[in-house]
Amino acid sequence: MLDANLAELYRVETGALVRAVRRNAKRFPADFMFQISEDEFENLRCQTGISSLWGGRRYRPYAFTEHGVAMLSSVLRSAMAAQVNIEIMRAFVRHRQLLQANVELATKLAVLEKKYDSQFRVVFDAIRELMTPSPKSTKRIGFQSAKQ
């Protein structure tokens, strides 16, 4: 997750979040947090519709891994930070469970396909099509607070 998204969730300014992280840099090793590259920043700028260097962000954002998000709760010490952190961790766990369930289903499907081969080809193709995620999702991803 990017620093600006986390700052919005925690209801703090992005700069305040980044300053808190920098003050506690030893708590955020490279596998917890990293700053995106210049190329990634340019791509992000194009995707968000910022037309010039003078609009929007002037520095490359930080990206936080699951562990980095967990560490933020020790840096941002508010009731909101604790609640947001709990919900983000739950989302990571649900995501991991969904991925694991999909892998298990694909494995079971492969075994069944070998066993029944051509008899159920249409059924297997239909199941695979249902397992494939839709190309576009209009639903906003992320933590939604009750006030939104």
pLDDT digits (tens, 9 = 90+) for 119-135: 566 666 777 777 776 66
Q: Is the pLDDT of residue 147 over 80?
A: no
Per-residue pLDDT at 109 = 74
Per-residue pLDDT at 138 = 61
The C-alpha atoms of residue 6 and residue 67 are separated, in whole angstroms, by 13
What string of DSSP letters covers 51-100?
Answer: -STTSS-SSPPEEE-HHHHHHHHHHS-SHHHHHHHHHHHHHHHHHHHHHH
Angle CA 53–54–58, to nearest 5 = 65
Q: Look up residue 104 and give its amino acid.
A: E
Domain residue ranges of the chain, discontinuous segments joined by +: 3-131
Q: What is the DSSP letter of 24?
A: T
**Which pLDDT band holds residue 23 (cuts at 50, 70, 90)?**
very high
pTM of the model: 0.56
